[in-house]
Amino acid sequence: MAKFVVSYVVLSLFCIFQQSNAASASYNVIKFGAKPDGKTDSTQPFLKAWSAACSSASPSTISVPKGRYLLKATVFRGPCKNKITVQIDGTLVAPADYRALGNSGYWILFIKVNRVSVFGGTLDAKGAGFWACRKSGQNCPVGARSITFNWANDILISGLTSINSQSMHLVINSCNNVLVRNVRVIAPDQSPNTDGIHVQTSTGVTITGSTLQTGDDCISIGPSTRNMLMSSIKCGPGHGISIGSLGKEFNEGGVENITLTNSIFSGSDNGVRIKSWARPSNGFVRNVVFQNLIMKNVKNPVIIDQNYCPNNQGCPGQVINYSISIS
């Protein structure tokens, strides 16, 4: 067991989400023209189903039956009139040609939505071609995150599996009240920048019961993140669970009230890590608890790195100025 405390105050906010049984409107993507063959572009049928659900005055469910559905870069945009449940019983697949997702940085994006729940399903981003492009040094796209929530509130993601993302698997950015539970992320240990879950500029995020096997951080926590609870996480392979990198900008929101408990690291490069650039910054890390952690074959169980500079390129050479309080 390992216990590591950054400051001594722990604030945990639990958000309890329940799947509603009162939904009075249901939208099956097949009825909008989606084909479960993994070959026919189903992007527009999915967007039409979303538009119908989003404009519904009553709670609604978008259902994705068993099968494989080809999706290109897709934006599910709000705000919507009522809560929406997305029930995925099949697999969403990205185009085989990684360049088809372009330079937008996303594959599936939910933006400015509230009260959205995503249950089940698999995302297959087919990232191997993109990783090979990066390894070869060619001129590659920026890489697409598999599923992103931007400026969203009261979100539930449950039972989702994400495999072989080009870049980060699940991104939570500028959100409030998010519960991620029983999620599984899978990517080879040498796949670049395939963070399992990345959280930044968000408040009230809970991640529980999830298995994260990646080529980068299992969970990464960026600036302006507060009141975050992680529990019952299985991490490895990967780079561990990281706060940071931080301090790259002078004006940067702090990270506080972060708890990780009852989790297992197995075969990961690192366990828990806090990393910041050696640059002047008004950012900070405080009120962090790492508790009841089991580490098996972990190279670096605990790291605080205030001279973070990946690949020793563009290192600032400045005096350490990032506030990390430890007790």
pLDDT in tens, 71-130: 999 999 999 999 999 999 999 999 999 999 989 999 999 999 999 999 999 999 999 999
Question: Could you tell me if 207 and 182 are in contact, meaning their C-beta atoms sit under 8 angstroms apart?
Answer: no
DSSP 27-69: EEGGGGT--TEEEEE-HHHHHHHHHHHHT-SS-EEEEE-SSEE
The DSSP element (H or E) to which 132 belongs, if any, is: helix 128-136
| pLDDT band at 51; cut points 50, 70, 90 | very high
| pLDDT band at 312; cut points 50, 70, 90 | confident
pLDDT at 162 over 50: yes
- The whole-number pLDDT of residue 1 equals 38
Closest CA to 141 of 163, 169, 164, 167: 167
Q: How far is CA 263 from CA 3, 114, 183, 225, 296, in A?
A: 11, 30, 14, 20, 11
Question: Could you tell me if 224 and 200 are in contact, meaning their C-beta atoms sit under 8 angstroms apart?
Answer: yes
Residues in Cβ contact with 143 at an 8 Å cutoff, skipping those fewer than 6 apart? 105, 130, 134, 166, 167, 193
pLDDT at 2 over 70: no
| pLDDT band at 12; cut points 50, 70, 90 | very low
Which tokens belong to 65? 């039956």
DSSP 162-177: EES-SS-SEEEES-EE
pLDDT at 42 over 50: yes
Question: 5-9, 59-63, 251-255 — which one is most confidently predicted on average?
Answer: 59-63
Task: Give one word for 267, left, alpha or beta, with left for phi > 0 and alpha for psi -120 to 50.
Answer: left
How many of the other CB atoms lie within 10 Å of CB of 142? 14
C-alpha 248: how far from chain center: 21
| Residues with catalytic function | 239
| pLDDT band at 319; cut points 50, 70, 90 | low
Task: Give one word for 53, left, alpha or beta, with left for phi > 0 and alpha for psi -120 to 50.
Answer: alpha
- Long-range (24+ apart) CB contacts under 8 A made by 135-141 are 135/192, 141/98, 141/99, 141/101, 141/102, 141/103
- The whole-number pLDDT of residue 327 equals 36
Question: Could you tell me if 210 and 239 are in contact, meaning their C-beta atoms sit under 8 angstroms apart?
Answer: no
Whole-number percent of the chain with pLDDT over 70: 90
CA distance linking residue 286 with residue 216, whole number of Å: 24
Average pLDDT over residues 265-287: 92
pLDDT at 280 over 90: no
pLDDT at 223 over 70: yes
- The whole-number pLDDT of residue 43 equals 98
CA distance linking residue 130 with residue 122, whole number of Å: 19
CA distance linking residue 162 with residue 143, whole number of Å: 15
- The whole-number pLDDT of residue 278 equals 83
pLDDT at 272 over 50: yes
Q: What is the mean pLDDT of the chain?
A: 90
Whole-number percent of the chain with pLDDT over 90: 80
The structure's pTM equals: 0.91
C-alpha 320: how far from chain center: 29
- The whole-number pLDDT of residue 299 equals 96
- The whole-number pLDDT of residue 5 equals 36
Question: Could you tell me if 131 and 191 are in contact, meaning their C-beta atoms sit under 8 angstroms apart?
Answer: yes
- The whole-number pLDDT of residue 323 equals 63
pLDDT at 6 over 60: no
- The whole-number pLDDT of residue 18 equals 43
> For the segment 176-218, what is each residue's pLDDT rounded down to a tens digit?
999 999 999 999 999 999 999 999 999 999 999 999 999 999 9
CA distance linking residue 160 with residue 171, whole number of Å: 13
